[in-house]
Structure 1
Amino acid sequence: MTTSESYLANLYAEDYQSHSFRPTYPGGYNNWFASAKPLLSRLLGLDNMASELEKHQPTVELKKPEQQSGYTRQVGYIETEPNIRLPFWLLRPLDCCGPFPLAITPHGHDQNGHDSYAGVYQDSDHRRQSLAMDRDVAVQAVQNGFLSIAPASRGLSFASNYVPDTYDRHGNRDCRSHFMHAILAGRTAVGERVWDMMRLIDWASNLPEVKSDSLLMMGNSGGGVITMYTAACDERISTAVASCSFSVIASKQGRIFHCDCCAIPGILRWGELYDVCGLIAPRRFLAVNGIKDQPSDNKNPLVQV
């Protein structure tokens, strides 16, 4: 074992993870859940946001819908905190009046990600690439009978509270610039994204044409991270699908699998990503991983979940 591996083994020892689930946890799953969930919310910065924003009432603005093949598509904006307007695409099936199951599809590191998911393309190259990579998930959802919403992800989209690395202090990585500003204020970038998704659920689940007891959330990469953490914190999500995002947080060799902007300070004193996903139980969770993912990186996390 190298010096760095020895250091990491000590640093990330499971004995330090106070809420990593184990079969012998006192009181079993229910007691673990009751203790682990509030602490995760605190680590994400959601408690701070709830306190700071308790007087804010989110508002939604919808533009005129446009008819597509078998569905309508319209742009909307939700103000999840004062002066923070999150754009989204709302796609409704045309062939019946509902109620429809709801699908929300947060994106990852794609500066036009909500457009890609909703089938709104900049040009022919954008369209070709998006379809080749199966990114039009909100379109696929509406074609399968969902009312689907493709929101911009805060800090990952030009359209949503983008904080650029103006002075090149963060390796010319705008998402990391946003993350740093968030943690300085007692938040996390992931926590802000979870907050946005929860406010969107508040609004969408009350639409008369929505079946509020059937809510799918799915996203790829950073969108999968948003999906896992939101589903862990919000029991209204009945099915969570995380694509190219489920893994351990850090490997024994020192590889941190996700972008810095997905970091949660102190998370490995709480538990691992499989513990985050464990909070989704007994609801449905599907992890979709790529063919180049190393089985050794995911075998133990899958067993733990």
Structure 2
Amino acid sequence: MWCPDDYLDHLYDSLDKYYAQTPSIPWNERKIGVRSKLLESLGPFPEQAADLRPTLLHRIERDTYIEERVEYSTVGKLRVPAYVLIPKQLKGRAPAVLAWHGHGYGSREIAGLQPDGTIDDAQPGIHQHFAVQLVQRGMIAVAPEILGFGDRRMLADSAKDPRKSSSCSSLSSRLLLYGRTVAGLRLFEAGRALDYLATREDVDTDRIGSMGFSGGGLLASLGSALDERIQAAVICAYTSTFRGSLLSMNHCIDNYLPSILPEADLPELIGLIAPRGLFVESGIHDPLFPIQSVREAVRVLNEIYEAENAIERFEVDLFPGKHEVSGRKSYDWLANKLKV
């Protein structure tokens, strides 16, 4: 018995005494410490943001929407390309949604495009082209390329198939040497995406949402938790407990937050979104985020939203699917919350 599995189980079990005491502490008191620990775990954010300097790269008229590709700066020499899908015949300012892709070939995968940027006429994959689904419901969908994917991979990875290759591991290991995390840098860039939205004359900044799938669910959830400019969030195939998913199987290293567990489990981090709107969807046959752990996370989130007197702003759809976007209820829920 030389394998370390029992030791890792012991580490988690040793937290049971701590977690058993937390229900006696009202959520409205505990959430301050949870938020502080989350920020500490993410590592220091860059001290000074770069000027956005947004640039329009192209503007194409599609059947039911306008497709723009833009770029803007976040920090240092980092520039972010993003697809912006705009409803046709838009009058006045419209609600906008930050759309965060999961692991795959990047923002094109949710914007209805193939890896080379041409229209994807094939059956949508697990991302379901969900940015297109949002724009078709009257919302401006903004899909930034997450650092480490697609066109934002490191040079050594850029010649590989973007469907199978990311730079998550390379970025994570290098940033750790500076006491930083790739999750922290991505969340900083998520804040800059909100800053970019504020520069657009077609966006109503009082009606901003966020939607993310799988690894993009981290940005949709924690980005919404940390930035109250986001009024409503949809989290697809990510909500779980740490024990039920990240500690039970191998996930990409970009999901792991240093030293977070002694203070909070994942449902409590997501619960920082309360009392703002939150919709959780997950497939009951998802092997990466098993349904039992999803249900446990939902139970905790119900308690948090009840403590915030906002239970009517929390909804869940456990659909008959696997690790994928559904949207059967979440798209319309988001449109309703943002008053399209």
What TM-score do the two structures reach when normalised by structure 1?
A: 0.84
In the TM superposition, 1:40-119 aligns within 5 A as 40-45=38-43, 48-51=44-47, 54=48, 56-111=50-105, 113-119=106-112
Are residue 162 (structure 1) and residue 158 (structure 2) matched? no
What residue number does 2:30 align with? 32
Q: Distance in 2 between matches of 1:153 and 1:131?
A: 20
Q: Distance in 1 between matches of 2:245 and 2:217?
A: 23
Are residue 302 (structure 1) and residue 301 (structure 2) matched? no
Are residue 271 (structure 1) and residue 264 (structure 2) matched? yes
Amino acid of the structure 1 residue aligned with 2:208: L
Q: Distance in 1 between matches of 2:217 and 2:84?
A: 20
- Distance apart, 1:199 and its partner CA: 0.3
* Contact kept in structure 2, 1:251 and 1:297, CA below 8 Å: yes
Q: Name which of 193, 205, 222 aligns with 1:200.
A: 193
Q: Deviations over 1:234-268 (max 9, x none)?
A: 11111111111111223499514632221111111
* Contact kept in structure 2, 1:116 and 1:130, CA below 8 Å: no
Are residue 139 (structure 1) and residue 152 (structure 2) matched? no
Indicate the percent of aligned positions where both proteins have the same amino acid: 26
What SS class does the counterpart of residue 267 from structure 1 fall into? coil
Inter-CA distance 66–39: structure 2 relative to 1 (3 Å threshold): same
- Distance apart, 1:282 and its partner CA: 0.7
More displaced, 288-297 or 247-256?
247-256
Q: Distance in 2 between matches of 1:206 and 1:85?
A: 16
- Greater length-normalized contact order (CA 8 Å, ≥ 6 residues apart): 1
- Distance apart, 1:211 and its partner CA: 1.6
Q: Distance in 2 between matches of 1:20 and 1:114?
A: 41
Q: Deviations over 1:102-136 (max 9, x none)?
A: 1111112112x211211222479982556243521
Q: State the number of aligned residues.
A: 291
Inter-CA distance 163–249: structure 2 relative to 1 (3 Å threshold): farther
Q: Distance in 1 between matches of 2:17 and 2:157?
A: 33
What SS class does the counterpart of residue 232 from structure 1 fall into? helix
- Distance apart, 1:292 and its partner CA: 1.0
Q: Distance in 1 between matches of 2:153 and 2:296?
A: 36
Amino acid of the structure 1 residue aligned with 2:90: C
Are residue 218 (structure 1) and residue 211 (structure 2) matched? yes
Amino acid of the structure 1 residue aligned with 2:181: T
Q: Distance in 2 between matches of 1:229 and 1:20?
A: 24
